[in-house]
Amino acid sequence: METPADTTESFASFTNRADAAGPADRVAAVDLADPAFWRLPVPARAAAFAELRRLPGPVYFGDRATGRGFHALVRHADVVEASRTPAVFLSGPGVTTPAPARWVRLLFGDSMVNLDDPRHAQLRRIVSRAFTPRLLGRVEEDVRRISTALVDRVERDRPEDFVSAVAAELPFQVICTMMGIPERPRREILDLVNRTSADIGVARTLSRRLRSPGRGLRALARMQVIVAGIGRERRRRPAEDLVSALVTADVDGRRLTGRELGAFFTLLLVAGVETTRNALAHGLHLLTVHPEQRALLLADLDGRLDGAVDEMVRHATPIIQFHRTVAVDHELGGPGGPLLRAGEKVALYYGSANRDEAVFPDPDAFDLTRTPNPHLGYGGGGPHYCLGAHLARQEMTALFRELFTRLPEARSVGEPELVPSSFDHRVRSLRFTF
Ligand code: HEM
């Protein structure tokens, strides 16, 4: 089991090597495929990505001869290109590492993040009906009501941990309300979400690796059973909610099957809860450690909040990376660019793209007045661009407006407890006070 001492040691050896060596050696010391890299403190990882961005092309991590590895896309322009050229950069067979096993996909259904056209477009047409501006307008009221209730509870109970009391609750309650999930199974579902996502992409010890697939899959299976039951019920008696819309919708002669509904619900929970929760937690902490930005925000909450939540997502980048598989030989950036071969993997590092000095002046600064702010926190555009980006903005804006209007002294205490992961920038807990 990794200890804090191990982490400090790796950081020390990285920085020592970095001090002693020139840029080429410093880059040679970086291995994005090594789980130890993802246990380094965030500033050390950021420094490594800054070195990688200085190189003329993407570095391949792993053994290129056997195809066991990936090209690291670390620049803004490269991540945008890969995101917006879906005929070359495929999402199938999977965008996370490791890719979902074939039998898992057969049993539980494919998630739209891992699909390509025409199946992706077909599914996205069905589910995006739940995310139209008109429907999100209706959700806005729910988001405000839930934010108010959460801040009421903070005032009343004075909880210590911002993550469990506020940041995880808001997106979870919003999605359950949108989907029409009754109150009763919500606690069980939240617990299942935590278990399902706890090990994605995390650097794991062997014993955990052996234990966790069963745990995660059992949680996934249980969640699918719950949601399939709700789906059957709504097919018989449709209500004004997302599950009803999805199981009765008829797009191109298609509606969601029970399995697709289960896969979509799981995706919404894992994609929509974890990300927003981490963005909110990083957001509160960023405003605490940058008092001048906080003062700017509080002086004009209505005028500055939109810029603030976008800058939080840029700076914190809740999702670190997704993968794509190269369909045909491709020269990155145009003719003469680095050759990516058919069948090879590429990793899209959103956090690195969001610190690309070619796009963001003084990229490490947290600056909520940054305009424009073309960050890639929700993806680099293209067909898989985050379906919930607008909803996430609504949630963050509503929560911080409510919090700072009523409790302007709200701030984090100490450092966030981070979970080492190559997949997301996860905060386990964050103490706070007002
Ligand atoms: C701050 C919060 C969020 C962040 C940082 C975030 C980030 C992302 C990223 C990076 C992607 C991949 C984009 C790509 O491959 O091009 C994505 C996809 C997705 N997100 Fe989000 N997300 C957030 C909130 C949400 C919410 C609230 C929901 C839904 C309730 C959601 C649902 C989805 C779905 C369904 C996809 C897959 C879309 C597709 O494959 O077509 N996300 N998100």
In contact, 188 and 226? CB cutoff 8 Å? yes
What is the pLDDT at residue 411? 98
In contact, 18 and 50? CB cutoff 8 Å? no
Is residue 98 reached through a cis peptide bond, with omega within 30 degrees of 0 on the bond before it?
yes
What is the pLDDT at residue 403? 98
CA distance 175 to 13: 44
The stretch 279-294 carries a mean pLDDT of 98
Contacts of 414 (CB under 8 A, 6+ apart): 431
- Hey, what are 283's tokens? 């957001």
Q: Which residues pair with residue 420 across a beta bridge?
A: none
Is the model's pLDDT at 11 over the cut of 80? Answer: no
What is the pLDDT at residue 256? 75
- Hey, what are 424's tokens? 């997301």
Phi, psi of 418 (to 5 degrees): -90, 150
CA distance 9 to 404: 39
- Hey, what are 58's tokens? 């993407």
Q: Give me the domains of the chain, ranges plus CATH numbers.
A: 4-433 (1.10.630.10)
pTM, two decimals, is: 0.90
287-339 residue pLDDT tens = 999 999 999 999 999 999 999 999 999 999 999 999 999 999 999 999 999 99
Highest averaged pLDDT of the listed ranges 114-128, 242-256, 262-276: 114-128
Is the model's pLDDT at 100 over the cut of 70? Answer: no
HSE-up (13 A, CA, CB side) for residue 12: 6
Pocket of ligand 1 (CB under 6 A): 83, 112-113, 124, 171, 175, 267-268, 271-272, 275-276, 279, 313, 318-319, 322, 350, 377-380, 382, 384-388, 391-392
Question: Which of 169, 376, 386, 397 has most ligand 1 atoms within 8 Å of its beta carbon, as the pocket-test mutant?
Answer: 386
376 C-alpha vs ligand 1 centroid, how far in Å? 11
**Among the listed residues 421, 432, 428, the one whose alpha carbon sits nearest the alpha carbon of residue 2:** 421
Question: What is the position in ligand 1's atom list of the atom closest to the CA of 174?
Answer: 30
207 burial class (0-12, 13-18, 19+ CB within 10 angstroms)?
exposed
HSE-up (13 A, CA, CB side) for residue 264: 26
Is the model's pLDDT at 24 over the cut of 70? Answer: no
CA distance 267 to 224: 11
Question: What is the position in ligand 1's atom list of the atom closest to the CA of 317?
Answer: 5
- Give the length of the chain: 434
Q: In this structure, which residue's CA is closest to atom 11 in ligand 1?
A: 386
Q: In this structure, which residue's CA is closest to atom 35 in ligand 1?
A: 387
